[in-house]
Amino acid sequence: MFNVVKLWLKIFLGFIFSVFVIVLLVSYGLIGTVAMDTLEIVITEATGLQQEEAMISANLNPYIIQNTMWLAISVLGFCLVFLYFLDMNLKSFLAPGFLAIVTVIFVQIIHSIIRVFVPYEAEATGHILSYLDRIDEASIIMGIVGILLMLAATVGQKSLENYRSRKYGITY
Bigger pLDDT: 12 vs 130: 12
The residue-averaged pLDDT of 149-170 equals 85
pLDDT digits (tens, 9 = 90+) for 25-66: 989 988 876 555 555 555 555 556 666 665 556 666 778 888
Its pTM stands at 0.78
pLDDT for res 81: 94
Bigger pLDDT: 40 vs 70: 70
Do the domain assignments include residue 49? no
CB 29 within 8 A of CB 129: no
Do the domain assignments include residue 48? no
Angle between helices 62-87 and 94-116 (to 10 degrees): 150
Nearest partner of 156 among 97, 110, 93, 107, judged by Cα: 93
Q: What domain range includes position 21?
A: 2-34+62-168
Do the domain assignments include residue 125? yes
Give the chain's domain count: 1
pLDDT of residue 110 exceeding 70, the answer is yes
Do the domain assignments include residue 42? no
CA 150 vs CA 31, 41, 78, 136, 147: distances in Å: 28, 38, 17, 21, 5
Do the domain assignments include residue 47? no
